[in-house]
Structure 1
Amino acid sequence: MRIKWFSLIRITGLICVLLYHFFQMRYTGGFIGVDIFFTFSGYLITALALDEFSRKKSFALRDFYYRRVMRILPPLVLMICLVMPFTLLVGQDYITDLTRQVTSALSFSTNIFEIKTGGTYESRFIPHLFVHTWSLAIEVQFYLVWGFVIYLLAKFTPTLAQLRKRVFVSSGLLACGSALAMYLGAQQMNEFSPIYFSSVTHIFPFFIGSMLGAIAGIKELLPAFSQTVAKHWTKKRALIFMAANLLGLFVLAYFLRFDRRETYMYGFIGASLLAAGAIFGANVLHRKTPDTKEPQLFVYLADISYSVYLFHWPLYVIFSKQFSNGLAALLTTILSVGFASFSYYFLEPLLRGKPVSLFNQTLTFKQILAPFGICLTLGVSFVIYLCLQAPTVSSLERNLMLGSIAQDAGKLEQLYAKATAPKVEPKATNEAKTQIPAGTTIIGDSVTLGSRSYLLDHMSDVDIDAEGNRTMNLAYDVLMNQQNSGQLRQNVVMCIGTNSLDDYQEQTQKVIDDLKPGHRLIFITPHDGHADSSYNSYKLGVWERTLPAKYKFITIGDWDKVARAHPELFEGTDGTHFGGREEAMKLYLECIQDALQRAQKTPVKK
């Protein structure tokens, strides 16, 4: 039995995800499309399991797992094999750590892989081709656990009514536990990818769907639900209710942000509840429109939605580095729809033993076995070949590691020189306080770290302390340590802000207030080519530009303005880092040197 209008739920989830990936700066919360899919899957799986128990008085766990594997695995394997040739269009950085990426995708453990490797869902320098299979991993993990739970409940429950109650209560407890874990986790973290990827904290949408599935199933309905629908719900009311929830999802997806704490505390559970409301409305509308046919376009898009989701991300990652964003999105959509249609309407039915009609001829799997085997062998062989050729780290990671090693080696040399230098006793106990060292101290993040060697080669009398993912509060600690030890030089350059937290003003003000007299302070505005006015890094740059009018000892080096005037230097990057490109490093150096020259005309802090 197919419920009409459920197609709109799947289509809404797919549209949200596509808009988010294609136009992330404008549609910042489209990632909740995954939560729509999660909620719908939890509903559907539970409702179908209850229908099966109603017919057979049992739940066949082995058959359940087999159906899930046959629905999930073939499109996944097809996606990996078909996507791999497109990687020849881009550099080897895009297949970095490919073996573990493919292995994680096929073993449904991408979410665990991303957590362990420190993956960030919104990372854009060299995004993993298969990072989107994190959601598939959580889904399969849900099927494994929840399928077994339903099997045990069904085995020891005599009636459907009792099973409904036990499923509802179990789902509610698990949903509350998972949602609470995400809520508490969000309060303790500033980088939210670990709780986003975790099945423990992000599995509650499935159980919200399961709770609904226990009440409003597919064929077998809770009597109270049937009576309520019959007495109080009209076609118009059901339509308005479904539409209102779908509209709520689009509105929520427009305003949510991945890096906002409120998204994890309230946003995801709000999205799941809206999705459940839309599912409920569609279920009622189906029963109120027995003579209405669902548009075939809706059915088609819903059928291929899973495979489109699989194909679109790696194709977009590749095409977006070769073409304009609009063209990349168009090519991605066309190929994803084509590949997904082939998978759903041709390959998957044949693998399940169903004949397929093609050009007025009926094909069976036996007839295509030989060419299918050859194509699969070639595809798998090519994937293995690429895995063997793939680098273990990207050029950016290599550049940052080398910069970090060189920085650590320099610090060790300084410590050795200090330890072995002859001690000089002060001439008098009332000798004046130690003078502030001349020159420049640069405190930076990963952008500075990647350019560190180049800066040292082209600047004199400078110390550089840089580290990846450094925020202003961490830079403040470095500043205070150097200041207290007498190592902080007269000109202090803060190249911080790309990783900017919500309290960026307070953090920066601490730097200004606690810097001792005798120093000049230079802020280099952060640049993120993908950031708009809603990003903290962008807001920090705007605020920093106002500081020289208030503080005469502060100078601004406007790297964001300079970088935005030269977008060609960031082609093929995340829009923030420039991967050791000499032209970009030269521009970065000139921005810092220009700011230092202007700073020499300003007074030091009094």
Structure 2
Amino acid sequence: MRALAAAIVLVYHLIPGAAPAGLIGVDVFFVISGYLITRLLINEYERNSRIELKAFWLRRLRRLFPALAFMVLVCVALAALVGGDALVKARLQTITALTYTYNWAQIATGSDYFAASDPLLLTNVWSLAIEQQFYIVWPLVLLVIVRWRGRAIVPGLLAIASATSMAIISGTNLSRAYYGTDTHLFGLMIGAILAMIISGRAPRPSSPRLVRLVGLWGPAGWLAVAVLAAIGTQIYDDDRGLYIWGLPVASLASAIIIRAVMPDVTVASAMARGLCAILEHPVLVWIGTRSYGLYLWHWPLLVLANYQWPSASPYLVGACVAALSLALAEISLRYVEDPMRRAGIIATLRAWGAIVVASFRRGPHRLRGDSSTMTFRHLSVGRRIVTLAMTTVTAAAVVLASVGLAVAPTKTTLQMQIDAARAQLDQHNDARRNGAAPQGTASPKPTEPSPPPSDKKPPATDEDKTGNVSLSFIGDSVMLAASPAITARWPKALVDAEVSRAMPSIDHLISRQLAADSLGDVVIVGLATNGTIRDDQIEGVLHAIGADRRLVLVNGYSRPKARWVIDANAAIDNAARQHPDRVFVANWHTVAADHQDLLASDQTHPRKAGIDLYVKTLHSAINEAATSLDGH
């Protein structure tokens, strides 16, 4: 089951579009953890009539923390080598990752889990924070209810409350709903319910009728696998239905799979035995044993690769990240996790220190301490070389990570660019509202030359055919980043652009400008980045602006995972075909695809050197729209 969960998550992150809702793999992990931990604690209570909380928490710390600390050290060091945006908020991320408070810190700072631009290095540890919080609080709750006959009612009510909270909050703040321990608790509670009502050591059914009834869990398990596959591949992570019913259903399906491979079911059902045989295949068992490490490593390595090689093939990057994640997960398991789990963190660190000291001595030596720590009669030349190399690498990682944390910025280059653009746009709009004629100021000269337009993009020209035609720009962060150049080219234009804006807001924005009598003769809409655009939404815009105005739609460009951009661009092209005299396309998608080197690290927004190209693309479409108006 762990291998299945890890595979779903890795496919979601590493193969664009293959599993658009592959984040359900985290919920599979939650159900497994809820079941195993609850069953473990109940078994201990049934054996000893008590639960040793201190011993339980120490085992969890030994099992989880060393691998996490190792990953954070290495990845922050690598981020220091990459530099720039890879280190954004690294101090906050490191502290909250190691204290298992990452999810609440991201909620407090308003971080958007689903933002495709400028991903944070350690975002994946949010789920580890939820699990660790569960490990701390749930045993205390279990101590109170473990004697109750109806104890499963408690996790049942908590699961219902949690799923309901996610369904409600996802309508207004999706990241809050996804990150929250309270809103994402239902998977852990579903696993706990299963542990409370099924022992996992259920005896063989005593009658043929009972055998048949128990055997029904076998086909139910296969059906649950199909449900997980359907949710993971047929729903998208920006579909609110996923958070209303998709994740709870995926969690229930995971619980059914666990039930289907229990001993009493495999005895009664050939289908259950087949499912169990697949899940117990040696390859899957090997992956499952390293699933924790795979989950830890794959995301920060992917983030670092995307920052270092932003234009590389996502499939090549995904393959390399998967291979490197497997290698690092194996190293972590063999040299960090297993030794510390068996001997303890402090004892293992002391043993490592003794090996380092002994590697510089001659003659035989023996380590003192527990027999489960590393013992040796003497260190060979090869072992000394390896030990010295590992010590050097570890010391270098500590130094690099320390430097990286010291210089880590709080904002990305793109965020700073957008903030500066926001300030200039506010000045422009204030002057416009106050009746002053805004004067266009030349945008800063790009540090990199803008290449000549390719044959595919609309012809760029400096000739302005707008004359007395008034312009209204409505856009998202892509347009906002370019707004200084837009207001420099069209000083009298009204520009209304905001971060994370999407097409559903268009009706309100147009109505507001109509009410203020400020809507231009040509309306330029650039909202293809943050969500899909439907045909009926464009028809609504055309109806709202009236037949006397022209509409310019700016299509979008983004990484392959942003499938909504593809849908939005298709709707824009369709509108231009349906209304050739009223709808004009600013083909930013083709231009950006031809000049990816002029895009920011998110492969969506233009850098300073690409803004002039963006404005030229708008200029060409605006000229076409202006000349189509009567009298032009």
Partner of 1:400: 418
Q: Which amino acid aligns with 1:514?
A: A
Secondary structure at the counterpart of residue 105 of structure 1: helix
Partner of 2:161: 177
**Cα displacement (A) at 1:506:** 4.2
Deviates more, 1:299-308 or 1:35-44: 299-308
Closer/same/farther in 2, CA of residues 474 and 244 from structure 1, 3 Å limit:
closer
**Cα displacement (A) at 1:23:** 1.4
**Cα displacement (A) at 1:13:** 0.2
Partner of 2:114: 122
Q: Is the 8 A contact 1:472 1:497 kept in 2?
A: yes
- The 2-side partners of 1:106 and 1:29 are apart by 28
1:339 equivalenced with 2:318 (yes/no): no
Q: Is the 8 A contact 1:16 1:32 kept in 2?
A: yes
Pick aligned residue for 2:237 from 252, 258, 261: 258
Pick aligned residue for 1:304 from 290, 297, 302: 290
Partner of 2:18: 26
Closer/same/farther in 2, CA of residues 55 and 101 from structure 1, 3 Å limit:
same
Secondary structure at the counterpart of residue 182 of structure 2: helix
Secondary structure at the counterpart of residue 526 of structure 1: coil
Secondary structure at the counterpart of residue 627 of structure 2: coil
Partner of 1:14: 6
Partner of 2:505: 474
Q: Which amino acid aligns with 1:364?
A: T
- The 1-side partners of 2:77 and 2:574 are apart by 50
- The 1-side partners of 2:305 and 2:264 are apart by 40
Pick aligned residue for 2:575 from 531, 534, 547: 547
Partner of 2:319: 330
Partner of 1:319: 305
**Cα displacement (A) at 1:592:** 0.9
- The 1-side partners of 2:266 and 2:629 are apart by 77
Q: Which amino acid aligns with 1:554?
A: V
- The 2-side partners of 1:216 and 1:18 are apart by 31
- The 1-side partners of 2:338 and 2:375 are apart by 12
- The 1-side partners of 2:427 and 2:491 are apart by 18
Pick aligned residue for 1:496 from 527, 531, 535: 527
How far does the alpha carbon of each residue in 1:212-239 deviate from its partner, in whole angstroms, 9 at most, with x for none? 11122345x5x7x865899416998766
- What does 1:422-461 correspond to in 2, within 5 Å? 438-459=469-490, 461=492
Closer/same/farther in 2, CA of residues 227 and 179 from structure 1, 3 Å limit:
farther
Closer/same/farther in 2, CA of residues 274 and 594 from structure 1, 3 Å limit:
same
Partner of 2:539: 509
1:62 equivalenced with 2:80 (yes/no): no
Q: Is the 8 A contact 1:471 1:497 kept in 2?
A: yes
Pick aligned residue for 2:195 from 205, 208, 213: 213
Partner of 1:97: 89
> Please, which runs of 5 or more residues in structure 2 have no aligned partner?
268-272, 353-366, 380-386, 438-466
Q: Which amino acid aligns with 1:526?
A: G
- The 1-side partners of 2:242 and 2:257 are apart by 20
Percent identity of paired positions between Structure 1 and Structure 2 = 25
Q: Which amino acid aligns with 1:387?
A: L
Secondary structure at the counterpart of residue 262 of structure 2: helix
- The 1-side partners of 2:323 and 2:561 are apart by 28
**Cα displacement (A) at 1:209:** 0.5
- The 1-side partners of 2:581 and 2:77 are apart by 57
Cα RMSD over matched residues? 3.4
Q: Which amino acid aligns with 1:170?
A: V
**Cα displacement (A) at 1:102:** 0.8
Secondary structure at the counterpart of residue 411 of structure 2: coil
> Please, which runs of 5 or more residues in structure 1 have no aligned partner?
1-8, 420-435
**Cα displacement (A) at 1:349:** 2.9
**Cα displacement (A) at 1:600:** 2.7
How far does the alpha carbon of each residue in 1:107-158 deviate from its partner, in whole angstroms, 9 at most, with x for none? 112211222233222323211110001111111121122111012234xx3x
Closer/same/farther in 2, CA of residues 518 and 265 from structure 1, 3 Å limit:
same
Partner of 1:202: 184
- The 2-side partners of 1:602 and 1:11 are apart by 59
Q: Is the 8 A contact 1:248 1:274 kept in 2?
A: yes
Q: Which amino acid aligns with 1:477?
A: H
**Cα displacement (A) at 1:352:** 3.4
- The 1-side partners of 2:493 and 2:167 are apart by 45
- The 2-side partners of 1:149 and 1:42 are apart by 13
- The 2-side partners of 1:248 and 1:481 are apart by 45
- The 2-side partners of 1:386 and 1:92 are apart by 10
Closer/same/farther in 2, CA of residues 230 and 117 from structure 1, 3 Å limit:
farther
- What does 1:377-396 correspond to in 2, within 5 Å? 379-396=397-414
**Cα displacement (A) at 1:376:** 6.1
Q: Which amino acid aligns with 2:593?
A: R
Q: Which amino acid aligns with 2:373?
A: T
Q: Is the 8 A contact 1:472 1:508 kept in 2?
A: no
- The 1-side partners of 2:41 and 2:392 are apart by 38
Q: Is the 8 A contact 2:169 2:177 kept in 1?
A: yes
Closer/same/farther in 2, CA of residues 20 and 398 from structure 1, 3 Å limit:
same
Partner of 1:430: none
Secondary structure at the counterpart of residue 91 of structure 2: helix
Closer/same/farther in 2, CA of residues 229 and 77 from structure 1, 3 Å limit:
farther
**Cα displacement (A) at 1:518:** 4.2
Secondary structure at the counterpart of residue 551 of structure 2: strand
Partner of 2:446: none
Deviates more, 1:305-314 or 1:333-342: 333-342
TM-score (normalised: structure 1): 0.83
Closer/same/farther in 2, CA of residues 211 and 101 from structure 1, 3 Å limit:
same
Q: Is the 8 A contact 2:16 2:314 kept in 1?
A: no
Q: Is the 8 A contact 1:529 1:564 kept in 2?
A: no
**Cα displacement (A) at 1:589:** 1.4
- The 2-side partners of 1:115 and 1:56 are apart by 40
Q: Which amino acid aligns with 1:135?
A: S
Secondary structure at the counterpart of residue 464 of structure 1: strand
- The 2-side partners of 1:352 and 1:500 are apart by 45
**Cα displacement (A) at 1:601:** 2.9
- The 2-side partners of 1:174 and 1:374 are apart by 49
Partner of 1:432: none
Partner of 1:575: 603
Deviates more, 1:237-246 or 1:490-499: 237-246
- The 2-side partners of 1:497 and 1:408 are apart by 23
**Cα displacement (A) at 1:399:** 0.7
Q: Which amino acid aligns with 1:169?
A: I
1:592 equivalenced with 2:618 (yes/no): yes
Secondary structure at the counterpart of residue 200 of structure 1: coil
Closer/same/farther in 2, CA of residues 314 and 518 from structure 1, 3 Å limit:
same
Partner of 2:151: 167
How far does the alpha carbon of each residue in 1:173-215 deviate from its partner, in whole angstroms, 9 at most, with x for none? 11111112122233x33x5222111111111011101111112
Closer/same/farther in 2, CA of residues 374 and 218 from structure 1, 3 Å limit:
farther
Closer/same/farther in 2, CA of residues 107 and 379 from structure 1, 3 Å limit:
same
- The 1-side partners of 2:315 and 2:121 are apart by 20
Q: Is the 8 A contact 1:312 1:332 kept in 2?
A: yes
1:46 equivalenced with 2:46 (yes/no): no
- The 2-side partners of 1:265 and 1:228 are apart by 40
**Cα displacement (A) at 1:311:** 0.7
Deviates more, 1:450-459 or 1:91-100: 450-459
Secondary structure at the counterpart of residue 553 of structure 2: strand
- The 2-side partners of 1:213 and 1:248 are apart by 22
Pick aligned residue for 1:269 from 226, 231, 248: 248
Secondary structure at the counterpart of residue 261 of structure 2: helix
1:245 equivalenced with 2:272 (yes/no): no
- The 2-side partners of 1:298 and 1:556 are apart by 49
